[in-house]
Amino acid sequence: MEINIRYDEELREKIRNGTADPLGWIDSITSGETDLTGDSDEGMKEYLTSFFTGLLQGLEECADGERIVFATANGPIYVVLVPQEDQSIRVWFCYRKDAAETGGEPEPYEPTAVVGTEELAQAVVEAAEKFLGFVEDVNPDLIADSYDYQGLREDIEAVRQRYELN
């Protein structure tokens, strides 16, 4: 599992200006041959702090056997995380609100992948930490003053402990 964020001048400028939840580009989220951002070569534009917070908090709930759904800004897309019985999680980017909320099944056009629980947790934690590091390099005061970034750091630590990651 790999999450690639576009760390460009546009994102840098938003963070310099003090944006706690900057809209930036996720170039790809891949698991094996599956790109969960879809077929677009451009990736997907997303509020990055909220996206990582949703994934991290979702991983916490999945550890308790809960199925979770959160909406992204892109489309919107509903990210659905469903714990499986074999220590894995189905990650589904659902385009239909009713299916996301009621537990429907993915349509062929909706990206989905089953990822090992620890592998998913590690990928999300690494990408979220890299994002926080970027923000801290660009605007250290923002990290210190923003409840959003402090909360993100706490969520990273909670997932790190829950999944016993280094």
- Distance (Å, whole) CA 140 – CA 136: 4
80-93 burial, b if ≥16 CB within 10 A, otherwise e? bbbbeeeebbbbbb
Burial category of 48 from C-beta neighbours within 10 Å (exposed 0-12, middle 13-18, buried 19 and up): buried
Residues in the chain with pLDDT < 50? none
pLDDT for 67 equals 95
Among 113, 106, 118, 132, CA closest to 165 = 118
pLDDT for 40 equals 64
pLDDT for 60 equals 96
pLDDT for 42 equals 78
pLDDT for 75 equals 65
Residue ranges of the domains in the chain? 2-162
